[in-house]
């Protein structure tokens, strides 16, 4: 069975258009085990109940930004090893370095092409 058939992904983005583009790309890659939420707190709750292999999260979200979500995941014993990709339009040095200190596995700058998302994911989880 191919990795894309086994992989469980959580997409977290407050913008329905951005979230839809990511979900469409994942579907195009053949990744079918995908859940999504529009904010960090609901993603964290869902992941506590049923962990995923990979989280793809927007950075700029109200209430809890993507790096705060990452920090919360890394502090949870059962969620600390989940792969984490941050998607941001603010890919400045400070944000990326903070993400790396918190345990971010990779990041992607907005806007991005579908192939960029695929390459980013494969660098974290392996060839789909």
Taking the model in full, what pTM does it have?
0.97
Sign of CA dihedral 54, 8, 122, 62: negative
Predicted local distance difference test score (pLDDT) of residue 1: 84
Sequence spans of domains, the chain: 3-125
- On whether the 3-125 domain is CATH 3.10.350.10, my answer is no
For residue range 12-32, what is the model confidence (pLDDT) as tens digits? Answer: 999 999 999 999 999 999 999
Query: If pLDDT is split at 50, 70 and 90, which confidence band does 115 have?
Result: very high
Host H or E run for residue 56: strand 54-58
Query: If pLDDT is split at 50, 70 and 90, which confidence band does 90 have?
Result: confident
**Residue in the structure block whose two tokens are 């990709």:** 85
For residue range 31-70, what is the model confidence (pLDDT) as tens digits? Answer: 999 999 999 999 999 999 999 999 999 999 999 999 999 9
Contact in structure between 19 and 11 (CB atoms under 8 Å): yes
Residue 53 DSSP code: S
């Amino acid at each position: 069975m191919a990795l894309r058939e086994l992989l469980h992904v959580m997409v977290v983005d407050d913008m329905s258009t951005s979230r839809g583009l990511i979900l469409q790309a994942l579907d195009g890659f053949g990744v079918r085990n995908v859940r999504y939420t529009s904010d960090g707190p609901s993603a964290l709750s869902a992941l506590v109940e049923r962990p995923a292999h990979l989280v793809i999260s927007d950075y700029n979200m109200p209430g809890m930004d993507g790096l705060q979500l990452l920090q919360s995941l890394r502090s949870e014993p059962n969620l600390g090893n989940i792969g984490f990709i941050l998607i941001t339009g603010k890919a400045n040095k400070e944000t990326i370095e903070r993400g790396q200190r918190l345990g971010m596995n990779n990041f992607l700058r907005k806007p991005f092409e579908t192939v960029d998302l695929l390459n980013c994911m494969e660098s974290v989880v392996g060839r789909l």
